[in-house]
Amino acid sequence: MLTRKQRELLLYINKHISEAGISPSFDEMKDALGLKSKSGIHRLITGLEERGFIRRLRHRARALEVLRLPHTAAIGEHGPRADKGVFAPKVVHGDFGGPLAGAVAPAESETAELPLYGRIAAGTPIEALRDYSSTVQVPVSRLGPGEYYALEVAGDSMAEAGILDGDTVILERVDIAENGSIVVALIDDEEVTLKRLRSKGQSVALEPANKDFETRIFGPDRVKVQGRLIGLIRKY
């Protein structure tokens, strides 16, 4: 559920707070992880916060609270709670490297079997790994003549759009989407995320649907659309 760098940063923050009684500065975190800029640390912290591993204490400088560690019980003001278990992320690869092996909707059958590429964080982008072993059944009436695939959502940054943690989203493979569409976006050819797409002049904004998360803005050459949301499946 965490990238290697996210895990390294989380453990470093926890160790620093335990030893010094205060969270490390951005410069200290940058040096500890060997990064060249603090923007990378900001992205890692946002990812950890969205996944529920840390919490930023508002209106206080250098105030981070570790809520849980990887594969352990959660900690914090509400007491311990069991983690949901070890999860190995299996999501669509950020660079398809050619035609996506999505299912073409059949013309006559009642359901279509779509490849389920695993979990995608509806928050800070995570590195992606292809998985062709799982599928999901979708009514043909919900599909058109294009290519489709499915992803399981992790996180709640799209909750106000009705997309919740654990939902399975159905996506049409496209490389162009209308302004305001919810898309799978590839950032810098290495990270993917599920967000609402907004074009603003020469910039592209990826908007969450949750007031607790930030809109991220990129140059148009840094973002590639890899799918457009057409529906979701929810298990109760």
Sequence length of the chain is 236
Residue in the block written with tokens 């292809």: 130
pTM to 2 decimals? 0.54
Report the C-alpha dihedral over residues 219, 153, 123, 228, rounded to 10 degrees.
Answer: 20
Say how far apart CA 132 and CA 9 lie, in whole Å: 31
Q: What is the number of alpha carbons within 13 Å of residue 75 lying toward its C-beta?
A: 10
> Tens of pLDDT along the chain (236 residues)?
567 888 899 999 999 888 888 888 888 999 999 988 888 888 888 878 877 888 887 656 567 888 888 764 344 433 333 344 333 333 333 444 444 445 554 444 478 888 887 777 665 554 444 555 678 888 877 788 788 888 888 888 999 999 998 899 999 989 889 999 999 998 887 788 899 999 888 899 999 999 989 999 999 899 999 899 999 988 77
Say how far apart CA 32 and CA 148 lie, in whole Å: 42
Query: Where are the chain's structural domains?
Result: 4-66, 103-233
Say how far apart CA 6 and CA 8 lie, in whole Å: 5
Per CATH, 4-66 and 103-233 having the same topology is answered no
* CATH fold group of domain 4-66: Arc Repressor Mutant, subunit A (1.10.10)
Say how far apart CA 74 and CA 83 lie, in whole Å: 6
Q: Which residues are catalytic?
A: 157, 195
* CATH fold group of domain 103-233: Umud Fragment, subunit A (2.10.109)
